Structure 1
Amino acid sequence: MQNSILRPVDRESAEAEALLDAGLALMVAGGGRRPRVADIVAAAGSSNDAFYRRFGSKDALVEAIVERGARAVVEQVRRCLARAADDSPEARLRAGLGALVRQASDAELARKIRAVLANGSGAGPHGGQVTVALVDALAALFAQPAAELGAADPLRTARTVAGAVVAALQYWLFTEEVPGPAEIEHLVGFLLAGVRAPRLR
């Protein structure tokens, strides 16, 4: 089951989404510099009362932006797997992994993520939990093709694969490296070989 952290939270969504969009835009435009709450609510056409009623603090807003991004990642992989539903299990898993890893080659997306993370205090209550929730949600998607490829413990295998991909994405994000097609193919091929490996069956 998808971790509750990655389930959309209804904060009277139109107003909340406007605040999230405004906060993200200002963080990116400022190169990671922390915008004031007053600037965020002005850009959103909202109010300080609305901001604190929805989020409580600027750190909570940052966490909500990160969570929204993680949900988008999971949905993108889910759609990719659905489009490959009639393909072989290896092709489905390759498609899902490829969709996930190719995000690391999107320089604009990486710039946005770095800007958002630069605005976090590091003391938020959900810091590492979003990563755990992301890995668990991806593992749930990868478990079926892993089972069809012969993994004896499909969910554990899928969680290992998802964790490895997320770790690679974080590495590229924080080193500001942009992986090329050969590096992406190497990672995807390596993970597929791991799923098929006899010791994992």
Structure 2
Amino acid sequence: MSRRITEAGEAVALMDAGLRLMVANGGRRPRVADIVAAAGLSNDAFYRSFGSKDALVDAIVERGAHIVVGYVRRRMAQASADGPEVQLRAGLAAVVRQASDVTLARQTRAVLANAGGHPSRAAHVTVALVDALAALFVPAAAELGAGDPVRAARTTAGAAVAALQYWLFAEEVPGSAEVEHLVGFLLAGVRAHRVSRYGSKGQ
């Protein structure tokens, strides 16, 4: 047990060090030697946790996606007593406001720069992120009467992630007006596909 805990701690330290160096280097990929030095560990510790720098980048990207999903889940839980529309609004705003956090945006751009040479893995992470967010949005979409809540949730999540990526890649910080416009637009899309009591989709 202690060995597993130690190795888990090493992996976290290496990911933290790798992320710090990526940001400090303006997105340039750091050397393994620099990463282990920054983490205060050895090459053996690095290769015990990660088979390569690519594996380290993958782990950092996946950890970032989990953090985003966890943040969105907490914001939606906080709004759960206010009804499905407020809850979905809180979730969507939580996604796109990741681009408003200057530190987080800088970290995300640095990681994406390192993952840029591996589009298949970057695509995998994007799909996983959209699917995880869609799963959070489905109950609210269903309560709002969406004719196909699963499809509505996935479409809404995909649009929110695409907007987030746009602002990150463009190195733009969205203001409150931009965030509100996007959230309102996406909510209007969900509302536009409600099911009437006769089973048809209303406009």
- Calculate the TM-score normalised by the size of structure 2: 0.89
Tell me the CA shift for residue 107 of structure 1: 2.0
**Which residue does the alignment assign to 1:66?**
61
C-alpha deviation, 1:141, in angstroms: 0.2
Which residue type is aligned with residue 128 of structure 2? A
Q: 2:157 matched to 1:162?
A: yes
Amino acid of the structure 1 residue aligned with 2:95 = L
Structure 1: gaps (5+ residues) = 1-9
Distance 2:160 2:115 in 1: 23
Alignment of 1:68-147 (within 5 A): 68-120=63-115, 122-123=117-118, 126-147=121-142
Q: 1:124 to 1:152 in 2, by over 3 A?
A: closer
**Residues 165-174 or 106-115, more deviating:** 106-115
1:38-53 → structure 2 map (5 Å cutoff): 38-53=33-48
Alpha-carbon distance in 1 for matches of 2:6, 2:144? 41
Question: In structure 2, what residue type is equivalent to 1:88?
Answer: G
Contact 1:11 1:54 in 2 (8 A): no
1:192 matched residue in structure 2: 187
1:192 maps to a residue whose letter is: L
Q: Is the 8 A contact 2:144 2:194 kept in 1?
A: no
Cα distance change of structure 1 residues 95 and 121 upon mapping to structure 2, 3 Å threshold: closer
Task: Give the number of the structure whose alpha-carbon radius of gyration is greater.
Answer: 2
Tell me the CA shift for residue 53 of structure 1: 2.1
* Match for residue 10 of structure 2 among 9, 15, 18: 15
Whole-Å separation in 1 of the counterparts to 2:6 and 2:187:
40
**Aligned-residue identity in percent:** 73
Task: Give the number of equivalent residue pairs.
Answer: 192
Deviation at 1:120, TM superposition (A): 2.6
Distance 1:19 1:89 in 2: 40
Deviation at 1:125, TM superposition (A): 5.5
C-alpha deviation, 1:119, in angstroms: 2.0
| 1:136 and 1:159 in contact (8 A); partners too | yes
Q: Which of 22, 27, 32 is the aligned partner of 1:32? A: 27
Are 1:172 and 1:179, in contact at CA under 8 Å, matched by a contact in 2?
A: yes
Consecutive aligned runs of 4 or more in structure 1 exceeding 4 Å deviation: none
Structure 1 residues 104 and 69: CA distance shift in structure 2, 3 A:
same
The normalised TM-score by structure 1 is: 0.90
Query: Match for 1:15: what amino acid?
Result: E
Aligned-pair CA distance for 1:58:
0.6
Deviations 1:71-112 (A, max 9, x none): 000000011111112111100001111111111112221111
User: Which whole-Å deviations, capped at 9, do the CAs of 1:43-89 have from their partners, x for residues lacking one?
Assistant: 11211112112111111111110100000000000111111121111
User: Are the aligned partners of 1:27 and 1:116 in contact in 2 as well (CA < 8 Å)?
Assistant: yes
Q: Distance in 1 between matches of 2:193 and 2:132?
A: 25
1:11 shift after superposition: 9.3
CA positional deviation for 1:134:
0.3
Q: Matched residues in 2 for 1:11 and 1:100: separation?
A: 33
Deviation at 1:123, TM superposition (A): 2.6
